[in-house]
Amino acid sequence: MCGITGYIGEQQATPVLLEGLKKLEYRGYDSAGIALQTGQGVVVCKEKGRIADLTKMVDLNVQSTAGIGHTRWATHGVPDRKNSHPHQSQSGRFTLVHNGVIENYLQLQRDYLQEVEMISDTDTEVIVQLIEKLSSEEVSTEAAFRKALTLLHGSYAIAMLDEQDPDTLYIAKNRSPLLVGVGADCRVVASDAMAMLQVTDQFIELHDEEMVLLRKDEVKIFTLGGERMERALYTAQLDQSDLEKGTYPHYMLKEMDEQPTVIRKIVDAYSNESGKLSIDSKVLQAFKGADRLYIIAAGTSYHAGLIGKQYFEKFAGIPVEVHISSEFGYNMPLLSKKPLFLFITQSGETADSRQVLVKVKALGYPTVTLTNVQGSTLSRESDHTLLLHAGPEIAVASTKAYVAQVAVLAICAYACGESDLELKKELSIAANAIQTVLDSKEDVRKVVEETLTDTRNAFFIGRNLDFYVSLEGALKLKEISYIQAEGFAGGELKHGTIALIEEGTPVFALATQRDVSPNIRGNVKEVTARGAKTSIFSIEGIQEEGDRFVLPHVHELLTPLVAVIPFQLISYYAALQRECDVDQPRNLAKSVTVE
């Protein structure tokens, strides 16, 4: 949540910062701003709304080769100009942007800043005012910056300008993602490498409780204790073309269409020299050495984890528990004797999951992270990493990363056990089936037009694996169309939820599991009798007359890969129908980096 850019070099900073913010807008779009070091002072421009709103206000004639930028997802204070970043100290000397949450900001305000009149309602302003306060007591800005950081409790990624030191950007990180980039004639800072690919693909990972002095030809990294750190560059494996929409009207549509290719990439990446599906031997031993697997995840990744549980138990015979990360961290259950923790996260920066990772590592338990971002925090701090190979996912509502998670979980479970299933062949069939469904977009659009035009709520039901897909379908619909939607196990309807069914209530039912197909069809009849407008999504082989959409046949265990596609499309077309912002839905951000 929230995105930072920073630049110091030979070029004009403004276009670099604005272009970087456009790439980071998926991280937050309540407000945005930039600050430019001009040599005669710092010029700040910020505005409520999107990067486009900010761009209209920026004076492109301001000459500056150093600056910082920010796009905000509000945590403290409503989204407005006064709460937008950058924030300045009382005298205007220091200007700062910040991602994260400072837990003790009120205490700091009481202890150090009683005489300072705060302009905003944010925790961020406390940081910059504190630095100015300490600068009167310390011998240098560097010392004041370091002292302030030692007083902060919580998460932060910080970039700061000092009006009196135009040749330096002051950078710091703790529990919030931040990278430093090295270009031919510049140095940059960003929350995500994609923001600065326009100037460099060479980056340095920053670790927690580190600060950086960034100059146009120099990067100095220190611990908060003052120890100088050296760290090698890495090359960001991103293609600039992957970050663009091309001819697509929305990133979400582009990313849905990429899903067959993602499955094929995963199969290729996890095939060994003999052409068989496999995973790294050390990861394999970690799985096989566990008496119980604990999957930790949130949101869409949690739904993928529920499906993964079935794979590990059926393919490998490993007992699995799936937990919501924000709950597990504060209510850890009794653990088995030899647990293994598997963290599922698209971004690798999910704060809820990371706080669990920190706790279980302190207890000495082995950890594996399944993520789409190599070098991300959870990837770096886990014992092992499994990559999704999905490519950048920009739309806030996850589609291809979810499908990738399910596919990689199937491969991991398959590699850990013994099965007659030809999984590689079956995944290829699933990829083709996904393409078939994607080619039927207009059929799904008609379903939306017939069922969701005037509704205020909707229900998704299924049994067995279909239940987990129903949870994901409901989440997608509520995320981007704002229709109140819920996913249920079909048998649970008559234990309370059926009271909500009224004339015209949309109910989407999945029927891809042969042994429970009669049961879910019985549930459909129950809600139809009470006035629901029902749509059954079945699969070849068990379809019946009157089914609204028939999916191509795939192996029964892999139906979640295909069954989720029409639900993704339903959410997309429902959002279009209601003129919602598909890629950047209200109140949401792509990377949930604060608890």
Cα 571–573–579 angle (5° rounding)? 105
Can you tell me whether residue 447 is helix, strand or coil? helix
C-beta atoms surrounding 331 within 10 Å:
9
Q: Would you write out the chain's pLDDT as a tens digit for each of its 595 residues?
A: 688 999 999 999 999 999 999 888 877 778 899 999 998 899 999 988 888 889 988 988 899 999 999 998 777 778 788 889 999 999 999 999 998 889 999 999 999 999 999 999 899 999 999 999 999 888 899 999 999 999 999 889 999 999 999 999 999 999 888 999 999 999 999 998 888 989 999 999 899 899 999 999 999 999 999 999 999 998 887 666 667 777 889 999 999 999 999 999 999 999 998 889 999 999 999 999 999 999 999 999 999 999 999 999 999 999 999 999 999 988 999 999 999 999 999 988 888 999 999 999 999 999 999 999 887 889 989 999 999 999 889 899 999 999 999 999 999 999 999 888 999 999 999 999 999 999 999 999 999 999 999 899 999 999 999 999 999 999 999 999 999 999 999 999 889 889 889 999 999 999 999 999 999 999 999 999 999 999 999 999 999 999 999 999 999 999 999 999 999 999 999 999 999 999 888 877 665 655 5
Tokens 């949450």 — which residue?
Answer: 101
C-beta atoms surrounding 272 within 10 Å:
10
pLDDT digits (tens, 9 = 90+) for 463-506: 999 999 999 999 999 999 999 999 999 999 889 889 889 999 99
User: 545-549: long-range contacts at Cβ-Cβ below 8 A with a sequence spacing of 24 or more?
Assistant: 547/511, 548/447, 549/440, 549/443, 549/444, 549/447
Q: Which residues are catalytic?
A: 2, 590
pLDDT digits (tens, 9 = 90+) for 182-227: 999 999 999 988 889 899 999 998 998 999 999 999 999 999 999 9
Can you tell me whether residue 250 is helix, strand or coil? coil
Tokens 């009224």 — which residue?
Answer: 502
404/410 Cα distance (integer angstroms)? 10
| Both tokens assigned to 368 | 């594996």
127/105 Cα distance (integer angstroms)? 8
pLDDT at 240 (0 to 100) = 64
User: Is the Cβ–Cβ distance between 386 and 279 less than 8 Å?
Assistant: yes
* H helix and E strand count, the chain: 18, 25
Burial grade of 504 (CB within 10 A; 0-12, 13-18, 19 or more)? exposed
pTM: 0.83
pLDDT at 593 (0 to 100) = 52
pLDDT at 305 (0 to 100) = 98
pLDDT at 312 (0 to 100) = 97
